[in-house]
Amino acid sequence: MSTPSQFMASTVVDSILFRDAFGTQKMRTLFSDVALVQRYIDVEVALAKAEAKVGVIPADAAEVIARESKIERIDFDHMRHETDIVGYPILPLVHQLVGMCGDAGRYVHWGATTQDIMDTAVALQVRDALDSIDGDIRELRGILASLARKHRDTPMAGRTHLQQALPVTFGYKVAIWLAMFDRHQQRLAELRPRVAVVEFAGAAGTLASLGDKGLDVQKALAAELKLGVPATTWHVARDGFAEAVNLLALVTGSLGKIALDIMIMASTEFAEVYEPFVKGRGASSTMPQKRNPISSELMLAASKAVRQHAGLMVDAMVQDFERATGPWHAEWIAIPESFILTAGALHQAKFALGGLIVDEARMAHNLGITKGLIVAEAVMMGMAPHIGRQQAHDVVYDACRAVNEKGGTLAEALAALPEVTKHFDRVTIDRLTDPANYLGLAPRMVDRALALSAEINA
């Protein structure tokens, strides 16, 4: 049987099978071919209006160009064919716009060069895509804040080098995640003015074709499109777009860290958290008992892919002279895919964390599996004022060895040592060896993180 064209996608961002796992419809639409060509047309129309305002082209010509330049009239097959020949889509587009506009067509693309139109169109896409990412991050921060607040005092084992280290609270762990995304929200706000700027400079970036009107046209074009005006031509200075994708790498890197924590904590041996239950999600084809952390796996995969694109964008910054011979093209790959993958990862994070199942009893159980050894530091510091820090260290060290070699609990081992019972009764020993009594300032750190996060939203 024949295969419908909609089944012919070959990458995960467009695949009918995987596209909603790795992206979102909203972000795919922003970076679709139709949306991109519409942005090209938007820039060409805005350019005509800007040039009419400063007296470069007749006002009636600009009116015709604005009225007649419609994407519904574009022959995409012909445009694709010409693009294959030319290597860029703007000349093929201009050919069609000129035909639409009759006599006014002579003023289409006046004084512009291909990269002016393409870069400005991508700046518009990136501006809108950053707005979308900003909204996703804001939603995720709300989810994380609620989770941190709820589990402010939920004790669990803190782990370093995958070994139990000291007690923390789950809210403390989530507050660290929240603070990362607070910073990402701030970075995004700081980044936007550096990226959402117009690129209009002509063949070598000097606006020579427009004489003394060039900067006036550039300013008017920026105003038409609601973009900023750059200090200089930036068609070979790609730090803005590179910064945008590297911000996405930071965002997905943080999602990858969260995903890794969740995946390990959801393992059978830990069993402390689970992704939300949806019948059939995370099922195995051979093992009916499996409940795989699918959203976390997708978040982690996206973080790895976007990180590679971030490197590609930095590589694309190395451009020769006043018009590059190739690095620019790498951005055409990296920018759309990075935004789509980031949107997909944020979508998975909102799902996983918004319905995260936290097993407080299991956290308490795991906190007790070292039989009190996890708070050996607490006991040492409690004894130090009475017998000195080094002697306290040695006493607790001996007690820990006794637990490891003979069994029992740290409290029982300490209670058997005269050096300890000389200063502490059993009630005090039990209190010192209770992990829930050695959380440090973790709950207060949650409070501080929540307060600071609320200030960002104010």
Region for residue 28 given its phi and psi (left: phi exceeds 0; alpha: psi -120 to 50; beta: otherwise):
alpha
List pLDDT tens digits, range 329-373: 889 899 999 999 999 999 999 999 999 999 999 999 999 898 888
Who has greater pLDDT, 139 or 458?
Answer: 139
Residue 285: the pLDDT is: 46
From the list 267, 284, 329, 365, the catalytic residue is 284
Residue 441 pLDDT class (50, 70, 90 cuts): very high
Per-residue model confidence (pLDDT) at position 281:
53
CB burial of residue 417 (10 Å; 0-12, 13-18, 19+): middle
Whether residue 289 has pLDDT greater than 60? no
Among candidate residues 315, 262, 116, the one with its CA nearest the CA of residue 200: 116
Residue 319 pLDDT class (50, 70, 90 cuts): confident
Task: Pull the structure tokens for residue 228.
Answer: 């900023």
**In the predicted model, is pLDDT for residue 290 greater than 60?**
no
Residue 284 known to be catalytic: yes
Tell whether the model's pLDDT for residue 280 goes beyond 60: no
DSSP 36: H
Residue 308 has pLDDT above 90, yes or no: yes
pLDDT tens per residue across span 54-110: 999 999 999 999 999 999 999 999 999 999 999 899 999 999 999 999 999 999 999
- Residue 273: its H or E element: strand 273-274
Q: Is the pLDDT of residue 266 over 90?
A: yes
For position 283, what pLDDT does the model report? 46
Angle at 145 between CA 139 and CA 146, to 5 degrees: 95
Other beta carbons less than 10 A from residue 20's beta carbon? 13
* Rounded Cα–Cα distance for residues 92 and 88 (Å): 8
Each residue of 124-145: pLDDT tens digit? 999 999 999 999 999 999 999 9
The amino acid sitting at 196 is A
DSSP string computed for 85-154: HHSSSHHHHHHHHHHHHGGGGGGTTTT--HHHHHHHHHHHHHHHHHHHHHHHHHHHHHHHHHHHHHTTT-
Per-residue pLDDT, averaged over 273-291, amounts to: 63
- In the DSSP assignment, the letter for residue 276 is P
In contact, 382 and 420? CB cutoff 8 Å: no
Determine the residue type at 364: A
How far from chain centre, in Å, is Cα 282? 23
Tell me which of 3-12, 107-116, 370-379, 397-406 is least confident: 3-12
- Greater confidence (371 vs 259) lies with 259
Q: Is the pLDDT of residue 288 over 60?
A: no
* Alpha-carbon span 400 to 374, nearest angstrom: 10
Catalytic residue among 2, 5, 10, 161: 161
- Calculate helix-pair angle for 33-53, 114-150, nearest 10 degrees: 120
**Which candidate, 168, 172, 174, places its Cα nearest to that of 144?**
174
Which domains, and CATH codes, for the chain?
11-107 (1.10.275.10), 114-366 (1.20.200.10), 373-432 (1.10.40.30)
Tens digits of residue pLDDT in 163-178: 888 899 999 999 999 9
Mean model confidence pLDDT for the chain: 90
209 carries an active-site annotation? no
Q: What is the mean pLDDT of residues 220-228?
A: 96
Q: How far apart are CA 441 and CA 170, in angstroms?
A: 13
Indicate if the pLDDT at residue 22 is higher than 50: yes
